[in-house]
């Protein structure tokens, strides 16, 4: 019997990268899984990869109306939700002088406002017990240039893991943060860089990691599986760093 047999799990941003790898890990451990995304191409790709083992739902993590609709859609098919992995995120990085309000609002809507109101909308579905995992980032711990808005949004999300834990623990809802370090995912392709520039960026990123390499989606998926399962039943309001030592050494 798998560690998630009989459980229902929702993964936002689950059509690519860490989210997709986590969906595969959850399915392998017996869970019924729903994943969300907003890119039509990756939605179709996830359907092809996950097949009938997952429910692929189009939803924009930065729109509160979409979060309410997502909760309603899940409630039509599922009577409970045992695992919520809030993984969708806007990874925009810019120097302070380059930021404008529209981009700031979009990042904060996706990384903080949307997750907050998704948890609120899912409250009637969250089982007792259930596990909520908020995807933070090691960027919240280090002073990396051009990461100011992104790091601030992730620091706020990790704060929610602590404060909402105190609020919801009496309902059997455990909330923990999972903070990746640099991970090799398709998000690396969203910076508009040439192939040579991307290679150079990767080499610079590796220098930040004491292990000397970037992580893989599968390594983060294993950590998410631990937090989702009863193996982590004594963890509440904690942050699990899976970062190759970036934020600790």
234 included as an active-site residue: no
CA nearest neighbour of 89 among 166, 19, 6: 19
Q: Which of the following is catalytic: 150, 165, 214, 217?
A: 150
Alpha-carbon distance 60 to 23, whole Å?
A: 18
- Which structure tokens are listed for 33? 């899984």
d(CA 123, CA 79): 12
Residue 145: count other Cβ atoms within 10 Å of its Cβ: 8
| Separation CA 180–CA 203 (nearest Å) | 18
Exposure of 40 in the CB half-sphere (CA atoms within 13 A): 0
Give the Cα separation of 8 and 30 in Å (integer): 9
Q: Which residues pair with 58 in a beta bridge?
A: 37
Residues serving a catalytic function are 150
């Amino acid at each position: 019997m798998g560690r998630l047999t009989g459980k229902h799990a929702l993964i936002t941003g689950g059509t690519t990268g860490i989210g997709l790898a986590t969906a595969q890990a959850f399915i392998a451990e017996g869970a019924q899984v729903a994943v969300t995304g907003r890119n039509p191409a990756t939605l179709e790709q996830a359907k092809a990869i996950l097949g009938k083992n997952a429910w692929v739902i189009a939803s924009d993590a930065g729109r509160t109306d979409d979060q309410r609709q997502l909760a309603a859609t899940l409630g039509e098919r599922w009577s409970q939700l045992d695992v919520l992995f809030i993984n969708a995120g806007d990874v925009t990085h810019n120097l302070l002088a380059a930021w404008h309000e529209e981009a700031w609002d979009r990042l904060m809507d996706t990384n903080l406002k949307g997750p907050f109101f998704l948890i609120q909308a899912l409250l009637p579905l969250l089982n007792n017990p259930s596990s909520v995992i908020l995807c933070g980032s090691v960027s919240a711990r280090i002073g990396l240039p051009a990461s100011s808005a992104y790091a601030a949004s992730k620091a706020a999300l990790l704060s929610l893991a602590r404060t909402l834990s105190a609020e919801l623990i009496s309902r059997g809802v455990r909330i923990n943060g999972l903070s990746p370090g640099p991970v090799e995912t398709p998000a690396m392709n969203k910076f508009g860089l040439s192939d040579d520039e991307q290679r150079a960026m990767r080499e610079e990123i590796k220098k930040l990691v004491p292990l000397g390499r970037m992580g893989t989606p599968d390594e983060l998926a294993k950590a998410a599986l631990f937090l989702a399962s009863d193996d982590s039943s004594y963890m509440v309001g904690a942050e699990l760093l899976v970062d190759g030592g970036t934020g600790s050494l």
